[in-house]
Each structure stands twice: as structure tokens, then as C-alpha cells.
Amino acid sequence: MNWIIENWYLLVALFAVLCVVGVAIYHFAKQPSQKQIELVKEWLLFACIEAEKELGGETGQYKLLYVYDLFVARFPSVAKLIPFSVFSSWVDSALEEMKKLLSENEAVKGIVVGGK
């Protein structure tokens, strides 16, 4: 008992370190899983097609902001966890996939160009 009274500051420091480690583990566990990330990336393809349909060509930054607004509305918890630079790279990948779809699939091209 005497040791505890004399070294109370060590116990407080140990408790603080354990709290910091606990919070770090909690934040790491809250991050999106690989499956969630794949679902978000698939959804981003849809959002990019919607942005292309709504805003047309040559509106890159506006489309990015439009897709980001849709993303925040659809996935608010994921939007808080990932930085915008990561989101932007995901959108770039989705745009490449969209361009590929538009060149290969006439039905998708009709939806985007014709607005059907």
C-alpha cells in the first residue's frame, strides 16, 4: 500500500498510456474493411456515371465535387475516415472504368449521352 502512495504518478502514467493505446486500437478497428471499400468503389462507378450524365464532359472538378457530395450523403461514416486524396484516387479509378464502359457498352453510352 505504501508503494502505491509513493508511486501514484507511475500508475497515472501507465493508465494514460493504456488509454492512448486503447483509443488507437478502437480507431483502427473502426476503419472500413476491404469488403466495404470494394462496395464503395463499385458505387463510385455509378456515381461517376450519374455525374457524367448530369454535368456532361469537360467539367472535371465539378464532377469530382458532385460525386463527393453524393458519397458523403451515402457513406457518411466512411467519408469521415478516409482523406480526400484517397477518395480522389478512388474516383480516378472509377472514371477509368467508366470510360472503358462507355467505349465498350452502347447501353451505358445511351444512358449517359441520351439521359435515358
Q: What is the mean pLDDT of each run of 10 residues along the chain (116 residues)?
A: 84 92 78 79 90 80 89 87 90 90 83 66
Query: Do residues 97 and 43 touch, judged by C-beta distance below 8 A?
Result: no
Phi-psi region of 82 (alpha: psi -120 to 50; beta: other; left: phi over 0): beta
Q: What is the predicted pLDDT for the residue at 15?
A: 93
Tell me which residue of 67, 64, 51 sits closest to 102, measured CA to CA.
51
Q: Hey, is 58 helix, strand or coil? A: coil
Query: Do residues 109 and 102 touch, judged by C-beta distance below 8 A?
Result: yes
The C-alpha angle 74, 90, 65, rounded to 5 degrees, equals 60
